[in-house]
Amino acid sequence: MKKTTAPKRFFPFSFMCSTIGHNFIVSRKITNDIKEYQCKNCGCEMTDNFNGKRVVLNSKNKEANECLFYFFQKKQKRLVRQAV
């Protein structure tokens, strides 16, 4: 039995990104060192890992970033209260 798959759609921006490179902008700041990025052309999402390299933003990384963001905000609020 032969399997058939749907043909992949052609996106001109993703082709441009694969040949020239992505044009990332910071979409969300998690901590001072970790950020989430999104390509302006194709919408590809990346994040910094704990080694400082960019990796694809999958569900596991998104969940880790969400927890890290929560703890970082909590720490920042505590530091502000102690300073006053």
Residue 69 has pLDDT above 50, yes or no: yes
Q: What is the pTM of this model?
A: 0.73
CA atoms of 73 and 67, how far apart (whole Å): 10
For the chain, give every domain's residue range: 32-83
Kindly report, residue by residue over 13-42, the tens digit of the pLDDT.
567 787 888 889 999 999 999 999 999 888
Q: Report which residue type is found at 23.
A: N
